[in-house]
Structure 1
């Protein structure tokens, strides 16, 4: 095996080891030691398997390290999100590219579950993975409880 460069989400970290998941392909890599990372860190890094058995990995270089800020706002969804939601059925998700970088998701949920759905989005490791893949540093969740609309915004800054 050879070196691998990519974007990695730290899914586990303790004193002696760490686990990285490549956000592009989902492949999991167990580090032989903890290279001073914490769970939910996102790294742009190069890693390589350690000889002789090549089952554990080590970090060769970290080009960038960031955390993804998860924000549960009290803001209403954008006008665009509300227009998209008006055309959706409950359970639908629409993904829209933002001008510049990032992405916006509009989810239609039963109105009585809007608060729980927002909490689920913020607690889902997949949300952080998606943010890492999109180059976002902030995920903002807006909601309109009366209409059952979630507006998840993956923002570059």
Structure 2
């Protein structure tokens, strides 16, 4: 790896036949690729990229060591007892984050009861959900809810 190359975990923000846009999940830096090496929007790639001379404003992929997608899905299951207990101890509009035993995290949000479905939809659509999952190196995200409580589970 040369000094100007960068290795990391990237979320593919946009992709078409000609190019792609990657966002580094660690520092949020965005990199436009001068060509698409076969990645698709929403994928997570472990890669090394290098700036294209002479302007160094676009990048080329030097190596891809891993490609995956991380599904973000709503579950029919209600929040767990632990998640309900966390919600009971926090004011509406707050977020509590807890590490899971092993790998991952649990995020518990308290929302107005009438806004639960909208909050779940926001989490499902938020690029930050996938970026956090990639940073945590988990394989899936599960969202559980009941009126006033949304639990986002980052799971191995």
TM bucket, shorter chain:
over 0.9
Shift of 1:136: 1.6
Q: Deviations over 1:95-132 (max 9, x none)?
A: 00011111100000001110110011000111111111
Alignment of 1:110-125 (within 5 A): 110-125=112-127
RMSD: 0.9
Matching residue of 2:69: 67
Which residue matches 2:107?
Answer: 105
For structure 2, the 5+ residue unaligned runs are: none
Partner of 1:84: helix, strand, or coil? helix
Stretches of structure 1 lacking an aligned partner (at least 5 in a row): none
Query: In structure 2, the residue corresponding to 1:99 is in which secondary structure?
Result: coil
TM-score normalized by the length of structure 1: 0.95
Superposition deviation, residue 2 in structure 1: 0.5
SS in 2 for 1:121: helix
Q: Which moved more, 1:104-113 or 1:1-10?
A: 1-10
**Aligned mates of 1:154, 1:70 — CA distance in 2:** 9
**TM-score, normalized by length of structure 2?**
0.96
Paired residue total: 154
Match of 1:86 among 47, 65, 88: 88
Partner residue, 1:150? 150
1:127-146 alignment runs, 5 A limit: 127-145=129-147
Cα distance in 1 for partners of 2:39, 2:151 equals: 30
SS of aligned partner of 1:140: strand
* Aligned mates of 2:120, 2:57 — CA distance in 1: 38
